[in-house]
Structure 1
Amino acid sequence: MIEFKNISKSFSSKNILNNISFKIKSGESVVIIGQSGEGKSVLLKHFNGLIIPDNGDVVVDGKIINKLSFSDLQSVRKNMSMVFQFGALFDSLSIKDNILISLDNNTKLNMLEKNKRVTESLNEVNLSNIEHLFPSDLSGGMKKRVGISRAISIKPKYILYDEPTTGLDPINTGKIISLMNSIKQNKKITSIVVTHELKIVNEFASRVIMLNKSKIVFDGTPKELNSSKDKYIKSFILGKE
């Protein structure tokens, strides 16, 4: 379980998060939405200690991660993978080596086991026999899938998705969401997604958290979000003021 307890964060006197509190249970698929600049990505980076709160605590499986030593924090991170906006692949490395980086840093597998894990994780995202290719050989959608493959290769308990469909056309967006659902169902992984893509909300989320003006203004199911009478929420869903 993950719990945010009264989290506040500011940058250069600008208040980004103000007294944010919520819990995420094992197996949930939580989608965090809000307009650009509302602190969604800042919030996401608190989950794995990439950003430390000014006030409050982030508790992951009973451990207050903002108070852990670096080595203890690294142990927590071994159960947590992150999928970055544009895949965040290293251009100078092959696809295989891009995935091996995560396995090298987060597992104690031998080389034979790592190679097997690379192949398995690529097969799970429907990308077979591309280990020898480089990121420049791939389309945008394929790069996204390699990023997801790298994330699942360490068999994490949690996956953090930062705008997983940014820059994709509607068809590839649908493919990524379908893949995310497959991972959720087959691996029972707890998923936290930051996005402004309502298609992800409606087709993936079990729960939605909306941020506005540094605070949580909605926390509920996609159905409850879509039926909300709140003026701001309706404006966000309809895409107009």
Structure 2
Amino acid sequence: MTSSIALFFLQADPGFFNIIVEKFNQGNEGGWMWPVLVTLILGLAIFLERIITLNLADINTRKFIVNVQEALQEGGIEAAEELCAQTRGPVASVFQAGLMRSDEGIDAAEKAIAAYGSIEMSFLERGLVWLSLFIAIAPLFGFLGTVIGMIQAFDDIEAAADISPSIVAGGIKVALLTTAGGLIAGIILQIGYNYCVSKIDRLIAEMEESSITLIDSIILLNEGKPLITPSVDDSSDSE
């Protein structure tokens, strides 16, 4: 997604940016386009930070599960723990927490997985509260600029004692441009928010599904049975 956004800006006509700057300056007569722009920039900064973090957390989960099962079968719990410690991402961290408590029994391993899974979920969702805040206030800044613009239009009418279009057009134009700016900022940030949420949901689902496989593998290991290895898709699940 980030590469598509970069490609869009690289291919965009320079006149497009000139129009954006012109409309920004026209709508900024009351000063209310700046809060909209600052809100958009802060929201995009959070979005980009989340995308980088989530991409780093994303691994080929099925292949990792197979590697853990092979480590369990060949080297036991310690070998599997070492593999998890060397692997990035929430799935590996949750696995390591469960393996470290596996000597205390399956119940202890399950509790460790559940507790550490909650911590990893909080880490994945960090910053989304602020992103949702910026989604909400960007249009509000635009609407506030609209109100200010309409007040300006009526002040111009009162001062001129005339209601001709040329007098009220300036204030109305400012009002409409600030509304448009706020809505555009909100739409852009909402798309980024939904993308992050969908990626987080997939990572959480992978954590939950793989944790079940880990518990089953530990049970089989304790019983001295061969571990059931799922089919491996060598292609990366990363987006």
What TM-score, normalized to structure 1?
Answer: 0.23
Q: Which has the larger radius of gyration?
A: 2
| Larger strand percent | 1
What TM-score, normalized to structure 2?
Answer: 0.23
| Larger helix percent | 2
